[in-house]
Amino acid sequence: MEIPAKLVKELRDRTGAGFMDAKKALQEAGGDLDKAVDVLRKTGLAKADKKLDREAKEGKVGSWLADDRKRGLLLELNCETDFVSRTDEFNALLGALVKAVRDGKPRDVDALSATNLPDFGNQAVSDIIKEHIARMGENIRVKRFAVYEAEPGAIVEIYIHPGDMLGVMLAIQAPATEAGQEVARNIAMQIAAMEPYAVSREEIPGEILEKEKEIYRDQALKSGKPEKILEKIVEGKLRLFYEERALIEQPYVKEQGLTVADYLARVSQEINSPVRVLKFTRFKVGE
């Protein structure tokens, strides 16, 4: 049957489908607009299932921070190209997912996927994402999220680097004052720039340390160093490793000659209140 161009346009406006897909759906539905929407949904979701295994290394980090800085969250939503990550539709989905984590408090990504979103017809997140995949032609997935709730005497801080591809969240023992927020912000930016693994050397996972030690031993052996001094060489390199990857041992980026530990000690004296980083999370899109 002949399908009027006006009807094709109306279907495209409602669904975001391409011209030929919309026309074929209307032909299959006998010109019934509502039935054509269902046809597109079914075919689109089938295509979306095939895209779920495709690599998705672009995207954005979304965030939310309570006004009292006692609770915050980061969420990474991935897609295949930066073009899609800049669309209004992708960013609206990211915002809705952040809100769902904030309000629903799912324990993990699987629980979030099963969550129904009122703003999307009370559909499950997994179905909503499939519909976005069908319309946008790329795999989209929630990679991870983290939620912090500050203990008494602590606050949460979030820093999102321009471009929304890098986000840091930390919990810090500090007063909920302008001075406390300033030091929290400075430490969040430190973490964004310097990529520490943990707050202190004691918190660096053992498997990371063992891997580093193995690399240092292999390097020393290949350079001809005698085995009796291998452990001293490894210890020396580990000290440098701690300075790079343990937050409080890193050089403080905003002031030469200070470590982060020095900076925190000085601030504690200045505001007459102990300041201590409790934990942090760093999300970089594509890691």
Mention the CATH class of domain 55-149. alpha beta
Neighbours of 7 (CB within 10 A): 16
pLDDT at position 14 is: 65
Domains in the chain: boundaries: 5-51, 55-149
Q: Look at residue 134 and tell me whether its pLDDT is greater than 60.
A: yes
The DSSP string of 235-276 is HHHHHHHHHHHBGGGSBPTTSTT-BHHHHHHHHHHHHTS--E
pLDDT at position 152 is: 94
Rounded distance between C-alpha atoms, residue 89 and residue 136, angstroms: 9
Question: For 241-267, how does the pLDDT look when each residue is reduced to its tens digit (9 = 90+)?
Answer: 899 999 999 999 999 999 999 999 999
Q: Locate 159 and state its tokens.
A: 């820093």
Q: Look at residue 45 and tell me whether its pLDDT is greater than 50.
A: no
Q: What is the pairing mode between strands 276-284 and 71-79?
A: unpaired
Question: For 217-228, how does the pLDDT look when each residue is reduced to its tens digit (9 = 90+)?
Answer: 888 777 777 777
Q: Coil, helix or strand for 71?
A: strand
Rounded distance between C-alpha atoms, residue 194 and residue 53, angstroms: 32
Rounded distance between C-alpha atoms, residue 215 and residue 199, angstroms: 23
Of 117-121, 181-185, 232-236, 257-261, the one with minimum mean pLDDT is: 232-236
- CATH code at 5-51: 1.10.8.10
pTM of the model: 0.79
Question: For 72-107, how does the pLDDT look when each residue is reduced to its tens digit (9 = 90+)?
Answer: 999 999 999 999 999 999 999 999 999 999 999 999
Q: Look at residue 49 and tell me whether its pLDDT is greater than 50.
A: no
